[in-house]
Structure 1
């Protein structure tokens, strides 16, 4: 039996991050351009394999052009040399609440574990089979080579090391 292929529907999905600024407030950003795919042994979206997600880091949007340009610079993502953020997982059982895989940012790959909530599978009004996942987790930006740092006159850190990631992802089954 052939595997069922699934692709992220970017018009019904969102990939975001939050990071503490000056340790008193939180800045939220998102990636506007991303794609993802997975395969399942059946149409029920269970027991996924070959899970892959890719975000175009140049599409980063924090609602501030100057900050976004700084994030694209060599101080952070160095998007001229490292255009994509990539996550890969070999297998995933949607009945599990954890997704383990490899995250690559700026040519640094680390094992990560994300919390996952499976939203279910439905057929939309146009006859397309859709599946939803809510994914969340935390990473250390410095572990991925995002080491820019500054300290205020009072000694406060400008940007936290911990970054909270979240994604609301809707997959659509390939016809």
Structure 2
């Protein structure tokens, strides 16, 4: 079994959410780790594990980030980690896969599907084996207990329920 660990310097765990239903707010988690374990290069049989620290959320706005860390959203004191563990990987062809797994946010575990593109396996400048993939998915934040909501005078929703996940990961193969 080969283990690949996330290279956090070359990876991003990002998301976007509609603001006032007309614009997108983008953000990311800055502290995370994870791994992929698989035999040889057989991604279908891989096991994927991932964790992000909720207090590392960043949308480039200190006030908004503080609100996201509060009990209105992530409640980072009570729920310091978001996690994902894969359960099944289905090949769609042309290095595209659907990764099904359990996502835990705010103490709630839900099964989610991520569309994953395996970009390739190669070698970095340090002659280490690397693997790269991109993952996209959409979750409903309220399914995970992130229920804060507000509307403006004319009924505009401040933050949409749907959150688009946009993840780009580079992993380094362990020398074990």
TM-score relative to the length of structure 2: 0.93
Contact 1:114 1:135 in 2 (8 A): yes
5+ residue gaps, structure 2 = none
Say which is worse superposed, 82-91 or 72-81, in terms of deviation. 82-91
Structure 1: stretches of 5+ with no match in the other structure: none
Whole-angstrom distance in 2 between the partners of 1:75 and 1:105? 13
1:103 aligns with 2:100: no
The two structures, once aligned, show a CA RMSD in angstroms of 1.3
Structure 1 SS opposite 2:64:
helix
Structure 1: how far apart are the matches of 2:10 and 2:155?
42
CA-CA distance at 1:37 after TM superposition:
0.6
TM normalised by structure 1 equals 0.94
Aligned pairs (5 A) from 1:1-175: 3-42=1-40, 44=41, 46-92=43-89, 95-175=95-175
Note if contact 2:87-2:102 (Cα within 8 Å) is conserved in structure 1. no
Q: Distance in 1 between matches of 2:36 and 2:89?
A: 10
Show CA shifts across 1:109-128 (max 9, x none): 00000111110100122110
Q: State the 1:149 CA deviation.
A: 0.4
Q: Is the 8 A contact 2:96 2:115 kept in 1?
A: no
Distance 2:123 2:90 in 1: 21
How many residues are treated as equivalent by the alignment?
172
Contact 2:73 2:146 in 1 (8 A): yes
- Report if the CA contact (8 A) 2:89-2:97 is conserved: no
CA offset at residue 151 of structure 1?
A: 0.6
How far residue 141 of structure 1 moved from its aligned partner, in angstroms, is: 0.3
Distance in 2 of aligned mates of 1:56 and 1:138:
20
Equivalent residues of 1:45, 1:121 under 8 A apart:
no
